[in-house]
Structure 1
Amino acid sequence: MSRYFNITDTIYDITEKYPDTISIFVASGFEHLNNPVMRSTMGKTVTLEMALSLRKVNQEVFIQKLEEVIEGSNPDLSTGLYAAKKETGGDIRIEGVLPCPIRLPLLEKFTGWFDSVKDTLDYQVDYNLKSANLGLDDVKERIVSANGDSDGLSDLYLSAGFDLFFDKKLMGQYREAGVFEDISGVGQMNPDFDNEDISLRDPKGQYAIIGAVAAIFMVNTNVLGDRPMPESWEDLMKPEFENSISLPMRDLDMFNAFLLHIYRHYGEDGVKKMGKALLQNMHPAQMVKAHIPKGGNPVPAVTVTPYFFASMVDKKGPLRPVWPKDGAIISPIFLLSKAKNKDKLKPFVDFLYSKEIGEILASNGKFPSTNPLVDNHLSPDQKFMWVGWDFIHNNDIGELITHTEELFYNASGKESL
């Protein structure tokens, strides 16, 4: 089933061989594996198959998550090379953080395409495309170490992340200096993202967007009680939902997007009300099991989650996905390219903007694509909430993220994570 381990291997053997998988086990409800003693005792007696069966976790999905983490930090077994990383001191550097559920098919398409064209290029290319669950800390460190010199940056970035791309201490300073240019050449975006309600096209022609991570929410009908079914973000701000909602606060891209959108459309008061509504932090992978009580802990009535994870919910269970009437909050997947190297970057941008990649985004991972040739399979009422480019250009996004976090946590009465 996996080329790294067998379903009959013990949890101890898997985590000892691949320590990075511990975080996936913990995020999926196996909190005791954070304890080294528990891993070395109970972990030696429980197989992966037994553990997943006990928790009623989908084997295929969970194994894919383990493989994504393993491949993000271990060499490819067939080639001896890092599956998502190629560094030879090339002329062009590409850096990306790919959404976890679709990292493998995206990476497979990218490496296959690159192998087919690399001999036609008269320049060397380095790339590092890793899974989003590994975070952006190392990317940010390299941007900070560039110390204002754009030559210290990679030439092409692919990632979600409002703070990464707009914080003036990070990429924002280079944006203001005109270092980047949208070279996609796409004349018309997908109408899902370019209509009378929304436009993801950067009017300054600097940032390109290939797709979006859309956040909706799920309602636990067993916990909802006699409260009316919430249909919008605004409904979640009502007093009856105080201390009732879980949020993916460790998923900083999504959490920052959530705060910025609530602030943009509902002001400081909206952020405070959402803070009061907070019950607990929850990783998106945990949310599909959010209806299962654990250790006497309260179960959230509502969980905010990426659309992909909501699609994994057991339809026979009590969780009901809700696409908010005021729009799914989006965290755009940005494609940022240096203007001075646009001729060399153009083939890569065209590939990442292609219909083939767009269909992987939209179909495999339910991350709607901006490519106009892609059918995102969305109904007319599945609209998006977007902060807008004027809001981005007229605000210090880094400072605003810090400000909204303070408002949120002060209102929640809980410490930030």
Structure 2
Amino acid sequence: MKVIDETMSIYQILSEYPFLLKIFKQHGMEKFENREVLEKLGPLLKLKTALSMVSVNEDSFIELLNQAVSDSEAKGDFTLADSPERQKELTLLALLPCGMKMPFSRAFDDFSAEYSRQMNNVLHSLVEGNVNHELSYYAYIDLVTSIDELPDIIISSDINSFYHKSFQENFLNKEYFVNLNSSPMNIDFESIGFADPRAQFTMISANLLVLVTIDELIQGNTRPESWEDLLKAGYRNRVVMRGQDGFFCNGVLLPFYRLYGMEGIKKLASSVYTGLHPSEMVKMIDSKKDDVPPMYIMPLFFAKKIQDKSRITINIPSEGAIVSPVQMLVKKSAVERVKEITDFLCGKGFGKISARAFFPTTNPEVENNLEGIKLYWLGWDFLMNTDIGELKKEVEEVFNAQFRETGGFV
């Protein structure tokens, strides 16, 4: 279907399809990248006139634009931040931890191409990083009430809105989903009771949170042996954790609440100097400056990226590395239709890719090589019997108030 023609204005085209700008730039019309030019000249300039000014063949260029729009719609190209309601167009939505997104995308792109060739049908999917969706997509999920508004497969990370009371009541309690985990699952996870007893979530993997210390900056203090040690008054403003702009990672806060209560949240807030993305933590550590905090709560994937490991220790606190889950929801009504896809996602091949990237897999046929790393999991009793959405709000309020009071840096 033709959606763009020569009578449309440049502004109309690029406002509706901003991803087409790169095609305009490739054909000598890079001036429309300037927002002021686009807003002043764009509404007045028809596509036909613009093409004649740069001597570009009109029919070929319009065909190129329409093909790009068609390809975009076929792939389901959109961002959740802008159009969360369009998730229902997808077969698969994946919101992944930063370190997992690239290896997943490479493997899934190869699978998707072969799947589409064999099935003679486009696999509608969207893969994005999980970071920053707490205030956009996950807020939208709290408002969803119909199973028809969801993709057939959703992979997500952390303790998010899929654990909130509204989603439990509207979907999980009605058993709309199916658990595709092997039983028993990989021994690393079987031993901590990671399988969903309600058989709604399929647990794929975990983002393991560890404590990295810059040993030369610990000074007179002994290196922490437990997560609880971080709550000591002597560690005020000496810890960095995942966070930004007043939001701090629930994958850290909820386990600390579970272990040490709201008083523990206050003490942790006093110890935290600032919130950063894990990649920024790595950069801070590798700067080798002596005026940076000495302790970092970060994913194992990023801890392994630190260049000079002679200066640091990757600590597994006595309670265990915190398990931030990577889980999948598969509609029961779609389970046969998406079987080839879920077989790939739960299979040994992808399990190996995940484990190599330091995201241990639940697949029992794969060796995670955790080298005796103890794991700490919140537990299903806590998740099923707690209003997680309300608790997150309470924890955030208490943490931020104490963080500001004790000199935390935003």
Question: By the TM > 0.5 criterion, same fold?
Answer: yes
State the 1:413 CA deviation.
2.6
Q: Which of 91, 94, 102 matches 2:92?
A: 94
Distance 2:320 2:231 in 1: 15
1:151 counterpart letter in structure 2: D
Matching of residue 117 in structure 1 with residue 105 in structure 2: no
Q: Tell me the alpha carbon deviations over residues 32-63 of structure 1, each in whole angstroms, 9 at most, x when there is no partner.
A: xxxxxxxxxxxxxxxxxxxxxxxxxxxxxxxx
Matching of residue 322 in structure 1 with residue 315 in structure 2: yes
Distance 2:223 2:89 in 1: 55
Secondary structure of 2:128's counterpart equals strand
Map of 2:255 onto structure 1: 261
Distance 2:409 2:142 in 1: 24
1:110 counterpart letter in structure 2: F
Distance 2:151 2:247 in 1: 20
Q: Which of 335, 351, 375 matches 1:342?
A: 335
Matching of residue 107 in structure 1 with residue 105 in structure 2: yes
CA distance 1:252–1:111, shift in 2 (3 Å): farther
State the 1:240 CA deviation.
1.4
Matching of residue 410 in structure 1 with residue 401 in structure 2: yes
Map of 1:57 onto structure 2: none
Contact preservation (8 Å) 2:139, 2:161: no
Matching of residue 188 in structure 1 with residue 184 in structure 2: yes
Distance 1:137 1:86 in 2: 22
State the 1:178 CA deviation.
2.2
CA distance 1:137–1:83, shift in 2 (3 Å): farther
CA distance 1:292–1:362, shift in 2 (3 Å): closer
CA distance 1:136–1:293, shift in 2 (3 Å): same
Number of paired residues?
336
Distance 1:141 1:406 in 2: 17
Contact preservation (8 Å) 2:274, 2:409: no
CA distance 1:250–1:91, shift in 2 (3 Å): closer
Map of 2:36 onto structure 1: none
Distance 1:164 1:252 in 2: 19
Q: After superposition, where does 1:154-193 map in structure 2 within 5 Å?
A: 154-169=151-166, 173-182=170-179, 184-193=180-189
Contact preservation (8 Å) 1:165, 1:172: no
Distance 1:176 1:101 in 2: 32
CA distance 1:360–1:252, shift in 2 (3 Å): farther
State the 1:179 CA deviation.
2.0
Map of 2:194 onto structure 1: 200
Q: After superposition, where does 1:345-356 map in structure 2 within 5 Å?
A: 345-356=338-349
State the 1:173 CA deviation.
3.2
Distance 1:222 1:357 in 2: 39
Contact preservation (8 Å) 1:326, 1:385: yes
1:231 counterpart letter in structure 2: E
Map of 2:358 onto structure 1: 366
Contact preservation (8 Å) 1:84, 1:130: no
Contact preservation (8 Å) 2:351, 2:366: yes
Distance 2:112 2:285 in 1: 44
Distance 1:273 1:172 in 2: 34
Contact preservation (8 Å) 1:160, 1:253: no
Q: Which of 271, 275, 278 matches 2:269?
A: 275
CA distance 1:82–1:101, shift in 2 (3 Å): farther
% same residue? 29
Name which of structure 1's ranges 115-124 and 230-239 shifts more when overlaid on structure 2: 115-124
CA distance 1:200–1:412, shift in 2 (3 Å): same
Distance 1:172 1:386 in 2: 23
Distance 1:367 1:344 in 2: 28
Contact preservation (8 Å) 2:285, 2:306: no
Contact preservation (8 Å) 1:359, 1:374: yes
Map of 1:131 onto structure 2: 129
Q: Which of 292, 295, 300 matches 1:302?
A: 295
Contact preservation (8 Å) 2:99, 2:302: no
Q: Which runs of 5+ in 1 are unaligned?
A: 1-16, 19-74
State the 1:116 CA deviation.
2.2
Contact preservation (8 Å) 2:210, 2:299: yes
Contact preservation (8 Å) 2:286, 2:308: no
Map of 1:386 onto structure 2: 377
Map of 1:233 onto structure 2: 227
Contact preservation (8 Å) 2:95, 2:156: yes
2:240 counterpart letter in structure 1: S
Distance 2:409 2:150 in 1: 30
CA distance 1:407–1:222, shift in 2 (3 Å): same
Q: Which of 217, 220, 224 matches 1:223?
A: 217
CA distance 1:273–1:194, shift in 2 (3 Å): same
Contact preservation (8 Å) 2:164, 2:388: yes
State the 1:265 CA deviation.
1.6
CA distance 1:170–1:298, shift in 2 (3 Å): farther
Secondary structure of 1:411's counterpart equals helix
State the 1:80 CA deviation.
10
Two-structure CA RMSD over aligned residues (Å): 3.4
Contact preservation (8 Å) 1:264, 1:387: yes
Distance 1:314 1:237 in 2: 28
Secondary structure of 1:300's counterpart equals coil
1:106 counterpart letter in structure 2: F
Q: Tell me the alpha carbon deviations over residues 175-222 of structure 1, each in whole angstroms, 9 at most, x when there is no partner.
A: 23322221x151221111111xx1110001000111000100111223
Q: Tell me the alpha carbon deviations over residues 344-403 of structure 1, each in whole angstroms, 9 at most, x when there is no partner.
A: 12221111011111111111x2111111111111122x1111110011110111111111
Name which of structure 1's ranges 207-216 and 250-259 shifts more when overlaid on structure 2: 250-259
Contact preservation (8 Å) 2:248, 2:396: no
